[in-house]
Structure 1
Amino acid sequence: MEKKPVAFPFCLQERHHRLKLVATRENAMKLEGGCYCGAVRYVAEGEPMMKAQCHCRECQYITGGSPNVFLAMPPDGFKYTKGAPKQFTRNDLEKPVTREFCGECGTHVVTRPQRPLVVIKVGTLDEPAQIMPQIAIYTIDKQPFHHVPEGMPAFERLPRRQGAASVSISIARTGPAALQRLTISRRYS
């Protein structure tokens, strides 16, 4: 029988009189962010579905060559609070995603795949240091100058879903940003 790690709530942090990160007992978060010029702002609430860095060629185009560090969140908890982004969808792909960006400064804010999730670019968060990638994906396209931290699980494509090996990573925190424990467990079905 596999033991489940105990999850602690994240700390509440206030900066410039605005709450930036909140976690409840269920690990639900409230994150705020926006574009470089401030014309587009958003709030995202819910439990993160994935925290990763993607090395695919598409992400390299969007970032200018680097891996894309992102956070996948439930779409029901995401909303724009200021401005409206422009959208771009390639029509020549079998499963295109819609990329949303600021029409003024060009900041790529989120990606909406054809699945029930919103992919938020970590660099657009007001407090990006609060989110640490837990896995590296699409390393098959990784460039020689890309860095995958030692010990981070890396996958040539996406990790296998339920029914195969699954990797679960949980981080427990106490105090402001003090890492207490990192637990990685594998389960094979």
Structure 2
Amino acid sequence: MNTQPKYQGSCFCGAVTFTVTTQPLLMAYCHCESCRHWSAGPVSAFTLWKPETLHVTQGADNIDSYRKTPGSIRKWCRSCGGHLFTEHPSMGVTDVPAAVIPELKFEPALHVHYQETVHRMTDGLPKMKDLPAEAGGSGEQIRE
């Protein structure tokens, strides 16, 4: 009997649907310019998953992608432009915006790339200058 959590997500119009199973590896906020620009917001709320836990259940032929940097392949729906997920092959994770998984309770653990912030957030969570050391960053925290 499979007792792993399973969450459903979709693009803005619902043409592309997917599931993610288990719990995310991490939930956090990103303040980097690329994520802010991509999300059209001052901060991006993200969830990280092992790639094998994400399964497109409908509309796979409606997914398009863009690769601005070698480390990230951003995916969206061709019909509505709704964001779906970003693959990070070199890190072995897939980033799914928290907003496209409505059933998942977003519980962020930290902030990344906080030195680039345009929206200060006083929430008591650790603020990483870039990324944690185990993710290839400096591991340096900066003050809230």
Same fold (TM over 0.5): yes
The TM-score, its normalising length taken from structure 2, stands at 0.83
Residue 102 of structure 1 is aligned with which of 73, 77, 81? 77
Match of 1:50 in 2: 26
Could you say which structure has the greater relative contact order, defined with CA pairs below 8 angstroms and 6 or more residues apart? 2
Count residues in correspondence: 133
Give the Cα–Cα distance (whole angstroms) in 1 for the partners of residues 14 and 34 of structure 2.
Answer: 25
Residue 116 of structure 2 is aligned with which of 128, 138, 141? 141
Match of 1:121 in 2: 97
Match of 1:181 in 2: none
Match of 2:54 in 1: 78
Q: Is the 8 A contact 1:74 1:117 kept in 2?
A: yes
Give the Cα–Cα distance (whole angstroms) in 1 for the partners of residues 100 and 41 of structure 2.
Answer: 17
Give the Cα–Cα distance (whole angstroms) in 2 for the partners of residues 83 and 110 of structure 1.
Answer: 14
Over the residues paired in the alignment, what is the CA RMSD in angstroms? 2.1
Three-state SS of the structure 2 residue aligned to 1:39 is coil
Structure 2: stretches of 5+ with no match in the other structure: 140-144
Give the Cα–Cα distance (whole angstroms) in 2 for the partners of residues 72 and 96 of structure 1.
Answer: 14
Deviations 1:57-105 (A, max 9, x none): 0001111132110110111111101102111112xx4x33100101111
Question: What's the % identity of the aligned pairs?
Answer: 25
Q: Is the 8 A contact 1:136 1:148 kept in 2?
A: no
State the AA in 2 paired with 1:35.
C
Q: Report the structure, 1 or 2, having the larger helix content.
A: 2
In the TM superposition, structure 1's runs of 4+ consecutive aligned residues that sit over 4 Å from their partners are none
Structure 1: stretches of 5+ with no match in the other structure: 1-22, 166-189
Give the Cα–Cα distance (whole angstroms) in 1 for the partners of residues 29 and 121 of structure 2.
Answer: 9
Match of 1:177 in 2: none
State the AA in 2 paired with 1:118.
T
Match of 1:12 in 2: none
